[in-house]
Amino acid sequence: MAITLAKFEAYNSIKDHKSLYETKDKKLIDDSIIRIALEEYDVNLTKKDIEEMRKNWEGYWQKYRMSI
């Protein structure tokens, strides 16, 4: 499945605001990112999507930066 603008925006927003989702006992992990993306952004992320965005973040940033 392709990395869409919605997926990229949701992932970045969650990562940028990770302090809202983390506590001293609970860290933001991939499963949490997937759950938050679905519940708060109505975006269906997968672990494969997250891995792809981490691996090629700069490429997606350049592709979508005009849209954000």
| Nearest by Cα to 1 from 67, 52, 63, 58 | 52
* Confidence band of 67 (pLDDT split at 50, 70, 90): low
- Has this prediction a pTM greater than 0.75? yes
- Measured from the Cβ of residue 31, the count of other Cβ atoms closer than 10 Å reads 10
* Confidence band of 66 (pLDDT split at 50, 70, 90): low
Structure confidence by residue, pLDDT tens digits, 14-58: 999 999 988 888 899 999 999 999 999 999 999 999 999 999 988
The total domain count for the chain is 1
Q: Which pLDDT score, from 0 to 100, does residue 60 have?
A: 86
Q: Where are the beta strands (DSSP E) in the chain?
A: none
Q: Which pLDDT score, from 0 to 100, does residue 65 have?
A: 78
In our burial notation (b when 16+ CB lie closer than 10 A, e otherwise), range 45-58 reads: beeebbebbeeeee
Containing structural domain, residue 55: 5-64
Do residues 68 and 13 make contact, with C-beta atoms less than 8 angstroms apart? Answer: no
